[in-house]
Structure 1
Amino acid sequence: MSLTTYGSKSSSPMSARRGVSLQRPLQLFIVAGDFLLILLSYAAADLIYRRFMATLAEREPPVGVAFLVATAFVAIAFFRGYYDNHNLANTSLQLRNTSTVWLLSLAILVLSAFLLRSTAELSRITIVLFTATGFVGLVAHRVIWRLALSSSFARRHSPKRRVVLISGEPLDFTSARFKDLRRNGFQVVGHFVLDPALKSDAAAMKRELASVVQSSRRAGADEFLLAFNWRDMPLFQHLSQCLRQVPNPVRLLPDSEIADLVSRPFAPIGGSVTIEIQRAPLSVGERALKRASDISLASIGFLFLAPLLIITAIVVKLDSPGSIIFRQTRRGFNGELFDIWKFRSMTVSENGPEIKQASKEDARVTRAGRILRKTSIDELPQLWNVLRGEMSLVGPRPHALAHDNYYDQMIGNYACRRHVKPGLTGWAQVNGLRGETPTIDLMNKRVEYDVWYVSNWSIWLDIRIMMRTVVALSGQDVY
């Protein structure tokens, strides 16, 4: 066993207790801020209602409403650990948790009013305004704290979560996962490297672990992090059993392979637990929601873009001989074939077993076609494919059949892209992977983004992609 310690000045139990004592006032300060903010949100909602909507005959609102919701919110958030320093620095986690706890607190209000038969005393409009103002205020409060905690001053003076790291081999402390730990308030005060050969000698392992525990107590450790890979799992299992003698939290810091596995959804089947390696195509409800948004937004798009579509059709016809609309066979959901629609931007209309991708300064691209490709206006007729149900507004971009057949052989998970309908735009496109793919590595990267989208679909992700698409189209050349 080898031991590396970090920071002799702060390695005493006294400094560990000081870190804890500094963290608790910070938590209480944020808790008090949330409580006060919820009270003010209710007062603001009531003021708006009385100023613009209420009649003189309406009674005074119950003040206890705000206290009940505020108490429920901070109690749930506190006992769930949402006020911990490292959780406050995680913006996406805070937004999800805030939304969930806020809705749960309001549900407690409704249930309490029902049980106490006092629903008649509540103003529905005030509660709606309170819901909106409270949520906006709580989110703003967390954004402010996120900016404050990420400042250089806060990083230097904020209390650290002192951890002892145990691994089966030397580690690279310059890697991304250790940088992420330091950025979120974790300080490694000791690193123990255990010899894997110890797993065959129970007595030696017991002595080594006793030394680890003793050293960790002297360092004032708040918790233990176990960094192991698949090869070290027997050692990890033995170690986790031995560490039950300490009251500190024990966490697994997985390598990339284990992290990918444990980040996937878990599902109980009777008394067993399964891990979802690949999600099924969208459920009936998810498909219905996605289809409804496609139809509504595509219809609105056709309505507002009609003048642009007409002008573009005229320009394409006058610029070069040939049809206005270019049709090419593509594969859609589950490999079903369909004809994709585009404004013609080239002098050729290839749709055979061999198709050459358009490239920069391609002589086949017409004068008008260069503008259409740069602005992606040539893709707008695909709104018709969306309305027909062959495509979606968001999804993996469909490729020509010749390219599909080629990449199916070269990239193992290429076919996973067809688990959802292809889209006008996609996760790969808003992350810079648009246009020509001259190398296998570039296409493989695009496929990785597409497969991630299929596995993590949500209506909010679609909205995010559509918003980013508008920004991504500015100033980018697509061929």
Structure 2
Amino acid sequence: MPKRLFDLIFAGFALVVLAPVLVVVAIWVRWDSPGTVFFRQTRVGRDGRLFRIYKFRTMHAHAEKAGPAITIGADTRITRSGSWLRRTKVDELPQFINVLRGDMSVVGPRPEVPNYVAMYPESVRERILSVRPGITDLASIEFRDESSLLGHSSDPEQTYVEQILPVKLRYATEYAQSHTLWGDLKIIARTVSILWINRPS
């Protein structure tokens, strides 16, 4: 089955099945703090095309003006609902909309903001951007507690650029070179398994 067809079927099915959850979460986000339900941010997609990624808002309105682009530890900008949404990764579910729009795939390298993509080495940038970015990948699984890791750093931005980003680029390059539908299914299964095991009690 072609990857794009799989994405359409999977994302469409997920949005239908999860519709009640999405509605409840949207109401909760709106009730918990003033602001929009969705957080939208410019990311770099396939072939360097810019798009707006969708997430449930997990921070107070205009939080991007009150701190760094990356989230660090117990960030005071995070709302009460946002803390749970981030921990369970439910804030990422609206990205199935991005999949239907063709901006993203279910599985693929996580899309970065333009200033981080500008740091990609020339030797790997074109290859990584040759595939659609995804909702999950091996790097997402390995760095699922990225915010907590950065919270222990004296210079989170430097730690991200020098330690975390190179590992993400290695995973992204490997995926772009040899991704298969069977490999995607295994990554989806690992993601669901980890989220289930680490679900809040």
Pairing 1:100-115 to 2, within 5 Å after superposition: none
- Counterpart of 2:49 (choices 320, 326, 336) is 336
Q: How well do the aligned residues superpose, as a CA RMSD in angstroms?
A: 2.3
Pairing 1:138-287 to 2, within 5 Å after superposition: none
Between the two proteins, the alignment pairs up a number of residues equal to 186
Q: Aligned partners of 2:167 and 2:123: how far apart in 1?
A: 12
| 2:165 aligned with 1:459 | no
* 2:188 aligned counterpart, secondary structure: helix
State the AA in 2 paired with 1:458.
T
* 2:71 aligned counterpart, secondary structure: coil
CA separation of 1:402/1:475 partners in 2, compared to 1, >3 Å: closer, same or farther?
Answer: same
CA separation of 1:292/1:351 partners in 2, compared to 1, >3 Å: closer, same or farther?
Answer: farther
* 2:54 aligned counterpart, secondary structure: strand
**Structure 1 residue 379 displacement after superposition:** 0.5
| 2:100 aligned with 1:387 | yes
Q: Aligned partners of 2:12 and 2:184: how far apart in 1?
A: 17
TM-score, scaled to structure 1 = 0.37
Q: Which residue of 2 aligns with 1:413?
A: 124
* 2:120 aligned counterpart, secondary structure: helix
Q: Which residue of 2 aligns with 1:262?
A: none
Question: Any stretches of 5+ residues in structure 1 without a counterpart?
Answer: 1-287
CA separation of 1:386/1:365 partners in 2, compared to 1, >3 Å: closer, same or farther?
Answer: same
**Structure 1 residue 402 displacement after superposition:** 2.9
Q: Which residue of 2 aligns with 1:289?
A: 2
Q: Is the 8 A contact 1:329 1:351 kept in 2?
A: no
- Counterpart of 1:433 (choices 143, 147, 158) is 143
State the AA in 1 paired with 2:11.
A
State the AA in 2 paired with 1:342.
K
Question: Any stretches of 5+ residues in structure 2 without a counterpart?
Answer: 151-155
Q: Which residue of 1 aligns with 2:153?
A: none
Q: Aligned partners of 1:336 and 1:301: how far apart in 2?
A: 25
Pairing 1:352-391 to 2, within 5 Å after superposition: 355-391=68-104
- Counterpart of 2:59 (choices 343, 346, 363) is 346
Q: Aligned partners of 2:77 and 2:126: how far apart in 1?
A: 30
Q: Which has the higher contact order (CA 8 A, sep 6+)?
A: 2
Q: Aligned partners of 1:329 and 1:310: how far apart in 2?
A: 24
State the AA in 1 paired with 2:120.
D
TM-score, scaled to structure 2 = 0.84
Whose Rg is larger?
Answer: 1
CA separation of 1:359/1:469 partners in 2, compared to 1, >3 Å: closer, same or farther?
Answer: same
Q: Is the 8 A contact 2:34 2:61 kept in 1?
A: no
Q: Is the 8 A contact 1:327 1:342 kept in 2?
A: yes
